[in-house]
Amino acid sequence: TQLLEQSPQFLSIQEGENLTVYCNSSSVFSSLQWYRQEPGEGPVLLVTVVTGGEVKKLKRLTFQFGDARKDSSLHITAAQPGDTGLYLCAGANPGTYKYIFGTGTRLKVLA
């Protein structure tokens, strides 16, 4: 069974701090997506990474796909209260139509 482990599970930081969220698996994924989810709403797609070693930036967010396409990281610079939410990674399972979601990282940024 494929698993995507995210760490940390919970993170509470002050506004202006930097943070990194990790998404790890022993399996290879054809692509990996990062989402942010607010309470009671569906996940909102932030980015998709496809190529091993790929780095994508979205304003203060930097996403990296591992060289072996088994892991990914999300780095937030100078976090703001608006970054608060549940961050989810999801890997596309090669050869199937399934997306495997990670366990999630709940981030709270305090003003």
Partner 1 sequence: DAGVTQSPTHLIKTRGQQVTLRCSPISGHKSVSWYQQVLGQGPQFIFQYYEKEERGRGNFPDRFSARQFPNYSSELNVNALLLGDSALYLCASSPLGQLTYNEQFFGPGTRLTVL
DSSP structure class, residue 93 = P
Closest CA to 56 of 31, 77, 74, 83: 74
Cα(first)–Cα(last) distance of the chain, in Å?
A: 40
Q: With respect to partner 1, which residue has the nearer C-beta, 13 or 86?
A: 86
Count of beta carbons in the 10 Å neighbourhood of residue 55? 12
Question: Any contact of residue 7 with partner 1 (CB under 8 A)?
Answer: no
Mask for 31-70, x = binds partner 1 (CB under 8 A): x-x-x----xxxxxx--x-x--------------------
27, 91 Cβ separation under 8 angstroms:
yes
Count of beta carbons in the 10 Å neighbourhood of residue 19? 17
Question: Any contact of residue 96 with partner 1 (CB under 8 A)?
Answer: yes
Tokens encoding 3: 């698993």
Q: With respect to partner 1, which residue has the nearer C-beta, 102 or 109?
A: 102
Site residue total, partner 1 (CB under 8 A): 27
Among 90, 91, 107, 109, binds partner 1 (CB under 8 A): 90
Nearest distance, CB of residue 26 and partner 1, angstroms: 17
Site residues (vs partner 1, CB under 8 A): 4, 30-31, 33, 35, 40-45, 48, 50, 88, 90, 92, 94-104
